[in-house]
């Protein structure tokens, strides 16, 4: 049994094919998927997509890459998170890869999301790119360890992973772990404690080998688990069991 801890099924290229994707998930023993919010204008549509399906869940939040979009207050995020299908705050975080300073608006957005998570007790879904030092620092400053969360689509060093683990965060690996040149991610996959590991697709992006370059969806998360198992020298069933249990432990608003 597998779970996709981070996907974007509401994006047009996947939403249009949702019945077939759900069928492929079932065929590949992918029992649940968390559909992650990236902005507020699209959030009602995301909720309309997940509400009819017992195995689809949602978050609420604004991705750090979205510059010209409404910024919800911590109070608004907390109010929206009362929906029974919302199990996390995010995705949030910092991304300095595409955008240049001044980025105070991005850092303030991150702080607002952390505060909403602490107010609600829901875990954070954190995105970090070219910003690991500031991300870890701000998590400490805002006491994110009180609620914890997940560092999604993790591509940083083992040292950054350790800093996140120390703050009550899980590490989630995507299809990048199957890429031949992803040596840093391979090291993390081999070292992260099994009881702090999650797997994801981040679909429609980052399709794992042997589908690299093609459209991704949650049914392909099995290939992430297989690569992690290979790197650790353990049965894939162990990765499946641990990552699924971790998913329900972290996103504990979900009832099995």
Binding site for a divalent metal cation, residues? Answer: 6, 8, 91, 127, 152, 202
Pair of tokens at residue 60: 């609420």
Residue ranges of the binding site: 6, 8, 91, 127, 152, 202
Strand partners, 155: none
Of 152, 140, 246, 138, the residue nearest 197 (C-alpha): 246
Cβ partners under 8 Å of residue 122, min gap 6: 81, 86, 87, 88, 89, 116, 147, 253
C-beta separation of 4 from 32 below 8 A:
yes
| Token pair in block for residue 248 | 């329900």
Angle at 11 between CA 5 and CA 14, to 5 degrees: 80
Q: Where are the beta strands (DSSP E) in the chain?
A: 2-7, 30-35, 56-60, 86-95, 124-129, 149-151, 169-173, 197-199
Q: How far is CA 245 from CA 72, 179, 185, in A?
A: 31, 26, 22
């Amino acid at each position: 049994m597998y779970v996709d801890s981070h996907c974007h099924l509401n994006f047009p290229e996947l939403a249009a094919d949702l019945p077939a994707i759900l069928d492929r998930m079932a065929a590949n023993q992918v029992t649940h998927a968390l559909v992650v919010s990236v902005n507020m204008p699209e959030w009602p549509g995301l909720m309309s997509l997940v509400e009819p399906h017992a195995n689809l869940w949602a978050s609420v939040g604004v991705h750090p890459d979205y510059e010209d979009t409404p910024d919800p207050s911590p109070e608004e995020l907390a109010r929206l998170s009362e929906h029974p299908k919302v199990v996390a705050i995010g995705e949030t975080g910092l991304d300095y890869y595409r955008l240049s300073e001044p980025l105070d608006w991005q850092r303030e957005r991150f702080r607002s999301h952390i505060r909403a998570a602490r107010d609600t007790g829901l875990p954070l879904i954190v995105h970090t790119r070219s910003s690991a030092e500031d991300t870890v620092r701000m998590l400490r400053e805002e006491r994110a360890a009180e609620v914890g969360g997940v560092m999604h689509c993790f591509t940083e060093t083992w040292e950054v992973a350790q800093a996140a683990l120390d703050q009550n965060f899980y590490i989630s690996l995507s299809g990048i772990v199957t890429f031949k040149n992803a040596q840093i991610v391979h090291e993390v996959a081999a070292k992260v404690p099994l009881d702090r590991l999650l797997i994801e697709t981040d679909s429609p992006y980052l399709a794992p080998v042997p589908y690299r370059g093609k459209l991704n969806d949650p049914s392909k998360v099995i290939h992430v688990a297989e690569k992690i198992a290979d790197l650790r020298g353990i049965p894939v069933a162990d990765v499946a069991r641990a990552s699924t249990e971790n998913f329900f432990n972290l996103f504990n608003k979900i009832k099995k």
